[in-house]
C-alpha cells in the first residue's frame, strides 16, 4: 500500500469499494476481485480494498468493532497492541497524572488511540509515511483526531520535552521488533528500531518513560530501578511494559488479562529475586501462567498455594491441596516415573490411556515424537508432564483439576 492508494480508499468511491469488499471478503478472492471490477472499481482500488477488508477482519481479534473502520498494514497489525492491553496501560498513565504523551514510533496507533480515549493528548511520531497516514486515518475513524495527531519523523531526532508548544508529561516507545523490509521478527534488542541504545537513553533523559518490549527480554537488559510488567491475555504471554522513574511502583509485576473484557484481571507483584522452597513432588502440580514465570514471581506464587518446587531450576510448583488460583493451571499427579519410554508406555496402557496432552519444562524431549512413540490406545485421557525432579528426567502422569 502506498500513500496514493490509501488516499483513494478514503474517497467516497474508496469507501464504496471497501464496503463491497467487506461483504465479499469471506468468499473466493478471485471472484471477489471480479465482482468489484464488474461494479466499475478500478483494478488497483479493488485490490487495495480487498486487502484492507481481509486485514480488518483479522484485526477484529485485537481491535474489536473499531477494526471495521480502521486502516492496516500487515506488519503494523502484527505489531499493534491488543485494545484491552493498550486500554489498561492508558488508564494507568492517566491515573499517574499524565496529560500529554509523545508516542515514539506510534505505528498504526493502537496505544495512542487508547491513551487519547483515556483523555491524554497524544503526539504520535512515526518514521514510515504510509503507517503515519494510516495512524492519522485511524485517529479519525475512532473519533480521537482532536487528541491524537501524528507527524512523519524520526523518533531519534524528536524533542521529547516540548512538542507543538506543549510540555511533555511522559514518553511512550514501542520499538519495532520486525525488520522494516522483510517483516521478519528481530530478536536482538540492538536491532530494534528505534535502537535499544536510544531507548535506554530515553529512560535516562525523560523522567516518565514507558516502553513496550518483547516478553522474552533478558532481565539483565532491563533499566535499573524501573518496574517491568509482564502481561498475558487468556494465558498467552503477549508483552512486557517497562515503567520508569516515578511511574515504577514495584520491581516486577505479572498481569493476567482475561479474554473477556468484562472478566477480572489478576496481578501478582514482587521483587523477582525471591527463591521458592524446594522439596519432593507432591499430590498437586501447578503450572504457572507465562507472565508469572517470566516476571520471576514463582516464589510469590508458590507462597499463595503453600507450594514448593521439585527442582530449583524448574517453575512447576507442587502442593498438597488444589487451591483455586488465577495464576496457574492445577493438575493432580497420579504417577511419578523416572523417564523411560518403556515404563511410560506400560503405565499408560495399564490406565487405558489413548489420548494425552503433553506439557514440558526442563525436558529436551519432543512432545509430538513422544506421542507417536507411545502408540497409545484406550478410552481414557491423561496429562503428561515432562520435567526434571532434583535434576533427574521425570515424567508425571496427571489429570487436570477442574
Ligand atoms: C511496534 S510498532 C508500534 C506499534 C504501536 N505501539 C501500536 O500498538 O500500534 C513500531 C513502529 O515504530 C516505527 N519506527 C521504527 N523506527 C522509528 C524511528 N526511528 N522513528 C519513528 N518511528 C520509528 C515503525 O515504523 C513502527 O511503525
Domain ranges of the chain: 3-61, 77-269, 284-400
Residue 250 has pLDDT above 80, yes or no: yes
The pLDDT of 90-100, averaged and rounded, is 97
CA–CA separation, 63 and 78 (whole Å):
12
Q: How many CB atoms lie within 10 A of CB 182?
A: 9
pLDDT for residue 184: 75
Pocket lining: 374 vs ligand 1, CB cutoff 6 Å: no
The region, left, alpha or beta by phi > 0 then psi within -120 to 50, assigned to residue 293 is: alpha
Determine whether domain 77-269 maps to CATH 3.40.50.150. yes
The answer to whether the CB of 155 is under 6 A from ligand 1 is: yes
d(CA 112, CA 295) in angstroms, rounded, equals: 26
Taking the centre of ligand 1 as the mean of its atom positions, its distance from the CA of residue 218, in whole angstroms, is 21
Interval 315-374: pLDDT, tens: 999 999 999 999 999 999 999 999 999 999 999 999 999 999 999 999 999 999 999 999
Q: Is the CB of 81 under 6 A from ligand 1?
A: yes
In whole angstroms, what is the distance from residue 354 CA to residue 362 CA?
A: 25
How many angstroms separate the first and last alpha carbons of the chain?
A: 48
Q: Which atom of ligand 1 is nearest to the CA of 128?
A: 25
Contact 384, 397 (CB under 8 A): yes
Mean pLDDT of 260-275: 93
pLDDT at 291: 98
Whether ligand 1 lies within 6 angstroms of the CB of 77 is answered as no
- Residue 253 reports pLDDT greater than 80: yes
Quick one: pLDDT at residue 321? 96
pLDDT band with cut points at 50, 70 and 90 for residue 188: confident
Distance of CA 106 from the midpoint of ligand 1 (Å)? 5
* Banded pLDDT at 105 (limits 50, 70, 90): very high
Distance of CA 131 from the midpoint of ligand 1 (Å):
9
What's the rounded mean pLDDT across residues 33-48?
89
Q: Which residue has the cell 519444562?
A: 361
- Tens of pLDDT, residues 200-211: 999 999 989 999
Helices (H), 64-121: 74-79, 83-95, 110-117
State residue 148's pLDDT score.
98
* CA torsion, ordered 156, 161, 164, 167, to nearest 10 deg: 160
Mean pLDDT across 264-278? 96
Cβ–ligand 1 contact at 105 (below 6 Å): yes
Pocket test for ligand 1, best of 101, 114, 126 (most atoms within 8 A of CB): 126
pLDDT score of 35: 87
Amino acid at each position: 500500500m502506498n500513500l496514493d492508494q490509501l488516499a483513494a480508499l478514503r474517497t467516497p468511491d474508496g469507501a464504496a469499494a471497501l464496503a463491497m469488499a467487506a461483504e465479499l471478503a469471506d468468499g473466493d478472492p478471485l471472484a471477489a476481485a471480479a465482482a468489484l471490477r464488474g461494479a466499475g472499481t478500478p483494478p488497483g482500488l479493488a485490490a487495495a480494498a480487498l486487502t484492507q477488508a481481509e486485514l480488518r477482519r483479522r484485526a477484529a481479534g485485537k481491535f474489536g468493532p473499531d477494526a471495521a473502520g480502521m486502516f492496516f498494514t500487515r506488519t503494523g497489525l502484527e505489531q499493534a497492541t491488543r485494545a484491552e492491553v493498550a486500554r489498561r496501560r492508558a488508564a494507568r498513565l492517566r491515573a499517574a497524572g499524565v496529560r500529554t504523551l509523545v508516542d515514539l514510533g506510534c505505528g498504526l496507533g493502537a496505544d495512542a488511540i487508547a491513551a487519547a480515549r483515556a483523555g491524554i493528548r497524544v503526539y504520535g511520531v512515526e518514521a514510515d509515511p504510509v503507517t503515519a497516514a494510516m495512524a492519522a486515518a485511524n485517529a479519525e475513524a475512532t473519533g480521537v483526531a482532536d487528541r491524537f495527531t501524528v507527524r512523519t519523523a524520526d523518533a531519534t531526532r524528536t524533542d521529547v520535552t516540548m512538542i507543538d508548544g506543549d510540555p511533555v508529561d511522559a514518553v511512550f516507545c514501542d520499538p519495532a521488533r520486525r525488520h522494516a523490509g522483510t517483516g521478519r521478527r528481530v530478536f536482538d534488542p540492538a536491532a530494534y528500531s528505534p535502537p535499544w541504545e536510544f531507548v535506554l537513553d530515553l529512560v535516562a533523559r525523560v523522567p516518565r518513560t514507558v516502553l513496550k518490549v518483547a516478553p522474552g527480554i533478558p532481565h539483565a537488559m532491563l533499566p535499573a530501578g524501573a518496574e517491568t510488567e509482564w502481561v498475558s491475555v487468556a494465558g498467552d504471554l503477549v508483552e512486557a511494559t517497562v515503567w520508569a522513574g516515578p511511574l515504577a511502583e514495584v520491581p516486577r509485576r505479572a498481569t493476567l488479562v482475561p479474554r473477556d473484557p468484562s472478566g477480572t484481571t489478576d496481578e501478582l507483584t514482587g521483587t523477582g529475586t525471591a527463591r521458592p522452597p524446594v522439596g519432593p513432588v507432591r499430590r498437586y502440580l501447578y503450572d504457572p501462567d507465562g507472565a508469572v514465570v517470566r516476571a520471576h514471581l514463582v516464589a510469590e506464587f508458590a507462597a499463595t498455594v503453600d507450594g514448593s518446587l521439585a527442582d530449583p531450576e524448574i517453575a512447576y510448583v507442587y502442593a498438597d491441596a488444589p487451591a483455586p488460583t488465577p495464576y496457574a493451571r492445577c493438575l493432580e499427579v497420579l504417577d511419578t516415573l523416572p523417564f523411560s519410554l518403556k515404563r511410560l508406555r506400560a503405565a499408560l496402557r495399564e490406565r487405558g490411556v489413548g489420548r494425552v496432552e503433553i506439557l514440558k519444562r526442563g525436558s529436551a524431549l519432543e512432545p509430538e515424537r513422544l506421542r507417536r512413540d507411545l502408540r497409545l490406545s484406550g478410552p481414557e485421557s491423561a496429562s503428561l508432564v515432562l520435567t526434571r525432579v532434583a535434576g533427574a528426567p521425570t515424567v508425571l502422569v496427571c489429570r487436570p483439576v477442574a
